[in-house]
Chains A and B, each alone.
Chain A
Amino acid sequence: MATLELSIQDEASAPVRRRRGPGLLFWFASAWLAIVLTLAILAPVLPLQNPVDMDMLERRAAFSGEHWLGTDGLGRDEFARLIFGARVSLTVGLIAPMIGLALGGALGLLAGYFRGRFETLVVGSMDVLLAFPPLIFALAVVAYLGQSIPNLTIILGVLGIPAFMRVARAATLTLARREFVIAAEALGASHARILLRELLPNVILPLLAFFLLGVAVTIVVEGALSFLGLGVPPPMASWGSMIGEGRDSLDIAPRLAFLPAAALFLTVLAFNLVGDTLRALTDPRQGAL
């Protein structure tokens, strides 16, 4: 019943806005993402310095031909660490929110649509998960399973499920009573059809907005966990843990904290820009991301 929805949109004389094509910014963002992803994937075969080799007498060295971005607090090549850090941060930062998006989104959609006992059960179990202080959850899981990137990803993914569930459910709740859904029901559409064809495309928008937020938050939370000794095990680098380590040298070499923060910022922003533009190109409604 997408036609019905479209017609509503058309009738509403929404403020006319400039329809942006993929502008210069989009290409910059895409290029940045392509570069970061390529570097991250190819890091082990690139002619980089070893990211964990220390030159203890060359700590916090300035930019040079040998060390393009200088060295960190323990004399390790900052450039190599940034790229190897991207591997970890992007792995954790993309996969963990995907777990949340897939599981939480599905649960929220179903709960918001079917309501009743099922909704109570889903909301209840998510509340249990949410009510449990996340750090305690992380600490306990690390205590059992040990500290590794897959475990870390699972912890962050599971912690994200309730939030995605709630966003999906809230969106579904408002949409499910809307005219186009009621019309579809009246026309005898199956639950599966309504869920997938009518609700999902609309629910996915706030979910994706939340997902992009989730990427940034997850990468930063990983850094916070590293700061507490629960993140990626050293000497492995992640952007978050690099910011944490750089924090101790703020006075002498502020770049050690700000370079990874800038990398994180640009990447998250690029994800957002690309997502936004792609959505604008495929969806008739305006910039809802």
Chain B
Amino acid sequence: MLTFVVRRLLAILPVLLAVSLLTFLIASLLPGDLAYVILGDQATPENVAALRHDMGLDQPLWWRYLSWLGHVLQGDLGRSFRTGQTVLQAVAERFPVSLQLMLMAEFIGLLIGVPVAIACAARAGGAFDRFMTGSAFAMLSMPSFLVAILLIYLFAVELRWLPATGYVPFTEAPLGNLRFFVLPALTLALAEWPGIMRVLRSDMIATLQEDYIALAKAKGLKPARILFVHALKPSSLTLVTVTGINIGRLLGGTLIVESIFALPGIGRLLVGAIYTRDLVILQGVVLLVACGFVIVNFIVDMLYAVLDPRIRHGHA
């Protein structure tokens, strides 16, 4: 197990390096010269040349990459030219929001998806199964920008149960914080659960046809025990994969949900950075998000090994 962990950890480094290179390239090659963006109407050729020199933009690309990487390795991700914030400050402000949103959305998604999947798999092809499969697709057909505004009108404007937009940090008002997150997390979860449900249901049906399940049945075990104890764990490999991907995706922020609910998350930060060509922020934040994603995936890989011991011993 230990060698497996070490091997996986070592595999992370080249991934991060590749991400940093890709990030840097995409950021640097974006159309629109940074110097022009900063100078605006003062962009005379002399001013542009001077600023490009000040910012090191006249250096060759590989040199800029290496010097950026060098700073990053020393823990210096840089400072936004626009706001004057450092990358770490910006991320420290935004990341907790995206993280909480992701966790709550995934939690609600699993809370709906897993029981429904198990119930559907237990009676595959039955009325409940068919109804839920249909509902899942109905949910998938509603884009989050529509679901969000419907939820706001229902729960905030009509019923007045929950706030429409906004955010307070958890440390300031734990309960208030949760109230603010319910609608955005629900919006995301309503798009997540159909995927969770479909994947788990399909694997579960396959597992239920295994001979050891038949054996368990023959031994007279209760159906619920068979479903939750014997069938769920071996059926959850794909589910873990999909959840890992979802978490990674949500870590990078969810621009639309963040914008509609006015949550100060990573998505708005990143897209704002792209639009204003705030490359320092863009590169730094993408790199940090990528690190977060890689860590989540590392955990998912570990979970694979736990769920299915055979994976640990790969051949060759």
A and B in direct contact, judged by CB atoms within 8 A: yes
Whether the pair B124, A17 counts as a contact (CB closer than 8 A) is: yes
Chain B min CB distance to A14 (Å):
4
A217 CA to B205 CA in the complex, in Å?
23
Whether the pair B274, A139 counts as a contact (CB closer than 8 A) is: yes
Residue from the list B138, B198, B267, B311 in contact with A209, Cβ < 8 A? B198
Cβ of B145 under 8 Å from chain A? yes
What residue of chain B has the Cβ atom nearest to residue A222's Cβ?
B143
Whether the pair A136, B274 counts as a contact (CB closer than 8 A) is: yes
Residue from the list A133, A177, A257, A286 in contact with B289, Cβ < 8 A? A133
Whether the pair B238, A18 counts as a contact (CB closer than 8 A) is: no
Report the contact-size class of chain A (Cβ under 8 Å from the partner): 35 or more
A135 CA to B272 CA in the complex, in Å?
12
Q: For residue B206, which residues in chain A have a CB less than 8 angstroms away from its CB?
A: 205, 285, 288
Interface hit among B35-43, B75-83, B241-249: B241-249
- A12/B214 contact (C-beta < 8 A), A286-B125, A286-B209, A287-B124 known: yes
- A261/B141 contact (C-beta < 8 A), A131-B19, A139-B271 known: yes
Whether the pair A220, B140 counts as a contact (CB closer than 8 A) is: yes
Chain A interface, >50% SS class: helix
Cβ of B182 under 8 Å from chain A? no
What residue of chain B has the Cβ atom nearest to residue A248's Cβ?
B149
Whether the pair B214, A13 counts as a contact (CB closer than 8 A) is: yes
Cβ of A247 under 8 Å from chain B? yes
Cβ of B187 under 8 Å from chain A? no
Q: For residue A220, which residues in chain B have a CB less than 8 angstroms away from its CB?
A: 140-143, 191
What residue of chain B has the Cβ atom nearest to residue A137's Cβ?
B26
A71 CA to B196 CA in the complex, in Å?
37
Q: For residue A167, which residues in chain B have a CB less than 8 angstroms away from its CB?
A: 199, 238, 241-242
- A247/B146 contact (C-beta < 8 A), A12-B211, A133-B286, A228-B255 known: yes
Cβ of A11 under 8 Å from chain B? yes
A266 CA to B39 CA in the complex, in Å?
52
Cβ of A8 under 8 Å from chain B? yes
Cβ of B168 under 8 Å from chain A? no
Residue from the list A115, A128, A162 in contact with B18, Cβ < 8 A? A128
A97 CA to B142 CA in the complex, in Å?
19
A217 CA to B153 CA in the complex, in Å?
24
Q: For residue A205, which residues in chain B have a CB less than 8 angstroms away from its CB?
A: 202, 206
Residue from the list B11, B146, B248 in contact with A257, Cβ < 8 A? B146
A52 CA to B129 CA in the complex, in Å?
41
Cβ of A152 under 8 Å from chain B? no
Residue from the list A18, A136, A262, A287 in contact with B270, Cβ < 8 A? A136
A223 CA to B141 CA in the complex, in Å?
10
Q: Mark B12-52, 1 if CB is under 8 A from A, else 0.
A: 00110011001100100111000000000000000000000
Residue from the list B19, B129, B137 in contact with A269, Cβ < 8 A? B137
Whether the pair B249, A143 counts as a contact (CB closer than 8 A) is: no
Q: For residue B11, which residues in chain A have a CB less than 8 angstroms away from its CB?
A: 120, 123-124
| Residue of B133, B143, B271 with most partner-chain A CB within 10 A | B143
| Residue of A114, A127, A135, A162 with most partner-chain B CB within 10 A | A127
Chain A min CB distance to B58 (Å):
22
Whether the pair B137, A289 counts as a contact (CB closer than 8 A) is: no
Interface hit among A40-48, A168-176, A188-196: A168-176
Given A132-B23, A173-B304, A217-B140, 4 other A-B residues pairs in contact with their CB atoms under 8 A? A14-B209, A116-B315, A136-B274, A219-B141
Can you list 16 pairs linking A and B with CB atoms under 8 Å apart? A11-B211, A115-B315, A120-B11, A127-B15, A130-B297, A132-B290, A137-B26, A139-B274, A174-B237, A177-B310, A216-B137, A261-B146, A262-B141, A268-B141, A272-B137, A287-B205
Task: Enumerate chain A interface residues (CB-CB to B < 8 A).
Answer: 8-9, 11-15, 17-18, 20, 114-116, 119-120, 123-125, 127-128, 130-137, 139-140, 143-144, 162-163, 166-167, 170-171, 173-174, 177, 205-206, 209-210, 213, 216-217, 219-220, 223-224, 227-228, 240, 243-244, 247, 250, 257, 261-262, 264-265, 268-269, 272, 285-289
User: 7 tightest A-B contacts by CB?
Assistant: A133-B252, A131-B290, A265-B141, A216-B140, A131-B293, A264-B141, A115-B314
